[in-house]
Structure 1
């Protein structure tokens, strides 16, 4: 059955139509905060596929959209495909590629077997491959017997002022809990993985630290309290804490925990520095508690030997599923659905120049914890594309991997949800 089903899908696949879907998606500007036009585009595509669709604002003027193959009351296991509609900004893209075929970040230029543009891999490629998978099943004359849902949500990316707090994911959880969107039994979040299947991901928190002393004229430094010296002491304790983490437990899929200081500023006058600010990001491996990680981090900072009159304030600006940041998460890597997806990817990529299907862990954070921890739905990341070119002026996706992903998702939908018509 497996070989004949893939052959049937391969024969039915319209690669030009699949690529046009992706290029049409890239052509829509959907930088965080401006997701609604793309969300509406996706709702229209789901309607074209015969899905029962819905939409709702997760913040004023910003839409989440969803679609289902059958009514929420239907029995049987239900698969949910999730992806975020927003992309990072395009500032500097046109200047970088001026005069080149990929000059427009929304152009979807096809160059040497790759489609270029903002969102090509992160993650419009995954969204379009999943929608293309359902379309492929229909084109091959196959109808799912179990439930399939899609949910496309905004506000995942950070970087734009006042956005990037997973407001769309919070809204999705509320709608599932309220029964507006059917509760899934398994979910695939289409972050780029090079078509590997990630059953684990890191967590994180960002900390902004303000060290405040008292400024004074350089000729009378004894009248001031040097915030820069205090910051030096704080940094020493942070880096000692980092070394302890690096020498501590390691997760076989995502490695050890870590801390990276990402920014520091202070002084600037011919005077005793009265204030210094620094920012850092802490990586958590699966199994770590965000609350405990923050407690240990603050203990390290507060242990710094600083002069009297120094005050230290710590802020956590990047709350996601947790008030301090994003939780790490992991499901059983032997979960039958994860293994099934792995096998489907391996089958769809066999005989191509791309590979996939390896079980692994995400070296990034996305919104899988909302599914696993908030609504109790086991989930994985899987999609075409390389996270290494996301957020860069090199963002692109290989056409062979993208088209293989369309077939892989079609296979997985057919085998997870079941078919009304059995393939010969």
Structure 2
């Protein structure tokens, strides 16, 4: 199944709140010739657009190939949360990578948030960064752990932007009776994700990059002069960057064995009474294994993501996401749902992104596991630096040992079903 076309109309953004509230880029022409470039980037999401921008700034001739439209994939459909650190906590990173690399990975995560903010400001993007993300816990034991972890970050990493919340303090902000407490990360934030992707694309074009939309890559041949073939053209280059994340398909087997696509879904309600869901402009992600995440839109809608999916075809999205939304906010049972959309992201077994050189002249970064707004943007810059011969951040991520999924790409869909069933059961049992 080609996930590029399994659930979407070619060349059309999904019917999302984001697409309805963003000004699309003028269509960029498909590639219909054979040519050469210094660097070819496959995928026009955060990773690819950031790589193109930073390469073009360095004077490289860079061409971006996108099967649909700029920001069409996860970059234009996600929850918009710009998280600090890595996808897993520092305790796990220290066990996995040692204290020195764990510290460097933490710093890299902080650098990623700073990069997003700097790009928004430098290029005057129409997606202001709103600071603050709440981690909301369902169980008292989780609250104790969250508060202890906030204290550890302050003590051992000098990070003093975590504000502990008990049940009463959290419920002053989040009008949901089930949460027992949590923390606010004031260093994290949230943005309009599609506007951010479009802002990156405009900045890359202004810097001299070329983008070809409606250009499906059919084959990549590595070597001293790697070649990228498309439906109607081809490009030879010095370097190829794979930046398609969950939509990479079968273009590279090494990456496919370690990066698994999964679907996620978001609904947007009608505009709600101010303060009836959130009393402050903060985003929220909770402690469930199948995470619920939400925030308010500029016009007062609840944007709520979550729900379970056991295959790659989209389900009834409203029914899928409305159920967990009402578990969190039972008083919204009469709220109208105005938008519903899904998209494909990618995970790894460790939940850390996979950086690799999967062929001669080929670099890849993907598998952000729901933490991609900041990390994918930084990954693009790290890929650009690696092409230019400065690969410190790329090599730091590439040193992480990420195991393949058992059975490789062939068994990813059955594994997805088993994993979602297991995690859903854990949520229901509260373990």
**Bigger Rg, which one:** 1
TM value normalised by structure 1: 0.26
TM-score, scaled relative to structure 2: 0.26
